[in-house]
Structure 1
Amino acid sequence: MPAPATPEAPAGWDFSDVVGSDSSLRRFLHGLPGVDQVGAEARAAQLGTRSIKTTAKAFALDLAIRMVDLTTLEGQDTPGKVRALAAKAMRPDPSDPTCPPAAAVCVYPDMVADVKQVLGDSGVKVASVATAFPSGRAALDVKLADTRDAVAAGADEIDMVIDRGAFLSGRYLQVFEEIVAVREACTAADGREAHLKVIFETGELQTLDNVRRASWLAMMAGGHFIKTSTGKVQPAATLPVTLVMLEAVRDFREATGQMVGVKPAGGIRSSKDAIKYLVMVNEVAGADWLDPDWFRFGASTLLNDLLMQRTKMTTGRYSGPDYFTLD
């Protein structure tokens, strides 16, 4: 599938002429190149067949571990559970000091302080969902308070959900302004700013055209990352959806000079699948995105499979799931 045309705009474009009204924003988003769904699915499938050699596979496994946002978002989460998860994120394989740490631990806002206490200055980030996750059905002041509470508790990253009802109704300016407001709420009283990941819930957006529009909308509003899913709705992350999002961040950098990260989340459970995503990142967006600062996996079970595959490569023996903690 050929790369879509990039909207013509000078580097550093601030979009002020686009976001002045709902009608102008709608014209811009609906003027983006349409997505060839058959072509996107075919290219994603073709990229998924790429094989990599042993040395490259070892590098890919370690890179994928470094990209994992180790996640627990359950009503039964306890301080003890999230503390154990934080310890695992820092030392995924306690028997092997060469194993890299995960990128972040993602929890609900009321668990942030417990995670922060364990992680300290380890370099592993504390991520928190906010804005009435996962539905996003709350008043804006409630969403902003949710965000501020998480940042005040020590969150380094905020994963917000867009109002899908507003987006699907064509109220794009409302969604844009909400993202802008949440990003402003990501700044703590001491001036520390948490990075903002914008979750689309792509399983509810219905079309790949909508995925492209949501991607541009979130990037124009100042999101640091665009993220597929909450993990609570199926389908969650898929290769075709992630392909469209990677094209969007690539085109956005060409148009503005600004890089934005991508985070597929939900349903990525195996090392084989993770490597497919890394191949796609390299082929579609480029090698600059092969870094935890620009690409993440939202996952609760992926890390264990990465650890099992890593152990097999380093020792020649396959260790079953019982050798690693259940999260």
Structure 2
Amino acid sequence: MTDDAPRNSGTELQTDWFDTIRINTPAVERRAASLPSRRSLKKEWQAAWLLNAVRCMDLTTLSGDDTEDRVARLCAKARQPIAPDLLDAMGVSGLTTGAVCVYPTMVAAAKRALRGTDIPVASVATGFPAGLMPLNLRLAEIEYARDQGADEIDIVITRAHVLQADWPALYDELRAMRQACGPARMKAILATGDLKSLENVARASHVAMQAGADWIKTSTGKEGVNATLTVSLVMCRAIRDHHDRTGIAVGFKPAGGLKTAKDAIAWQVLMREELGRDWLRPARFRIGASSLLGDLERQISHHVTGRYAAAHRLTMA
């Protein structure tokens, strides 16, 4: 699931890249609303997009009652996310999810459960989900997750830096986090539901990429409003602008709010329309959702058998 392209090493803080951004919110909303109907996907083409959504999923458990046994079950599902008989009927083999995402204390258990595969283990860190801890403790949590073997680390930003337009403070925080990640790839969670405006979303996206984020991510999944097509469109255009300026391809991860196969297709259409086919693979696109997997498998089962399976016949993530 790794990318052969160079990592995002970041740039100096360049506020002139984003300080004049103005966003026509109604126009963005209209564009986002049109995306689900821009491509009519039926039969085997629809099935292919559903399978791609599975391989781009970060299968996640972030509950206070997580145990090593629960993580092991999640990892087993990541290894075999779709029933083997359905995959055999479609001529598909080797399908896994894009990663497994857990708390730092569960990273070692996930690594053990995924031994022998190339499925990455992602860990949240930095006082997830609020991030309201002293910076030295947030950096120590990153280092702990990295030392436990995390391949990817999902960090949360200090929203106050965005709301106060303190871009140097946000940049310095993110640079320190990027350094603490070491070889682990960094996903910067912007918590867009807390940022109040699309301009803030765009500017925070630029700062995160300039600071060296390998992916930018919409949400923790714990905010009142999580991933929407509107904020995702703004973030994707920021990724496109950054790529045009630097040649570096930064990934995108929507999280929270994606619950149905229809949602999974809509976000893939967004990636295809705004960023191109290169962003339809796990190295550049992840879906942060676990409940979504059940509906994806249900729709794939319908494609193969011509009928919807009862819920109890599909293994829940």
The TM-score with structure 1 as length reference comes to 0.89
Matching of residues 109-188 of structure 1 within 5 Å? 109-187=104-182
2:266 is equivalent to residue 276 of structure 1: yes
Q: Which residue of 1 aligns with 2:313?
A: 323
Counterpart Cα distance in 2 of 1:274 and 1:128: 23
CA positional deviation for 1:94: 4.1
Note if contact 2:10-2:212 (Cα within 8 Å) is conserved in structure 1.
no
CA deviations on 1:239-273 (whole Å, 9 max, x unpaired) are: 01111111111111111111000000001010001
CA positional deviation for 1:171: 1.7
Counterpart Cα distance in 2 of 1:231 and 1:140: 22
1:212 alignment partner AA: A
Note if contact 1:13-1:256 (Cα within 8 Å) is conserved in structure 2.
no
Gaps of 5+ in 2: 1-7
Aligned residue among 292, 296, 299 for 1:306: 296
1:52 alignment partner AA: L
CA deviations on 1:67-115 (whole Å, 9 max, x unpaired) are: 0001111111111111100110011134335362100111100000001
Q: Which residue of 1 aligns with 2:208?
A: 218
Gaps of 5+ in 1: 1-11, 20-24, 188-192
2:218 is equivalent to residue 228 of structure 1: yes
Matching of residues 176-215 of structure 1 within 5 Å? 176-187=171-182, 193-215=183-205
Note if contact 1:69-1:103 (Cα within 8 Å) is conserved in structure 2.
yes
Aligned residue among 67, 70, 79 for 2:56: 67
Counterpart Cα distance in 1 of 2:310 and 2:143: 41
Counterpart Cα distance in 2 of 1:28 and 1:235: 27
Q: Which residue of 1 aligns with 2:3?
A: none
2:40 is equivalent to residue 45 of structure 1: no
Q: Is 53-62 or 217-226 further displaced after alignment?
A: 53-62
Counterpart Cα distance in 1 of 2:45 and 2:224: 32
The TM-score with structure 2 as length reference comes to 0.92
Counterpart Cα distance in 2 of 1:125 and 1:254: 28
CA positional deviation for 1:314: 1.4
Q: Which residue of 2 aligns with 1:285?
A: 275
Note if contact 2:186-2:213 (Cα within 8 Å) is conserved in structure 1.
yes
Task: Kindly report the root-mean-square deviation, in angstroms, between the aligned alpha carbons of the 2 structures.
Answer: 1.6
Q: Is 311-320 or 154-163 further displaced after alignment?
A: 311-320
CA deviations on 1:98-137 (whole Å, 9 max, x unpaired) are: 3621001111000000011010131111000000100010
Note if contact 2:153-2:181 (Cα within 8 Å) is conserved in structure 1.
yes
How many percent identity over aligned positions?
44
Query: How many residues matched?
Result: 303
Note if contact 1:183-1:196 (Cα within 8 Å) is conserved in structure 2.
yes
CA deviations on 1:172-201 (whole Å, 9 max, x unpaired) are: 1111111111111111xxxxx111000000
Q: Which residue of 2 aligns with 1:4?
A: none
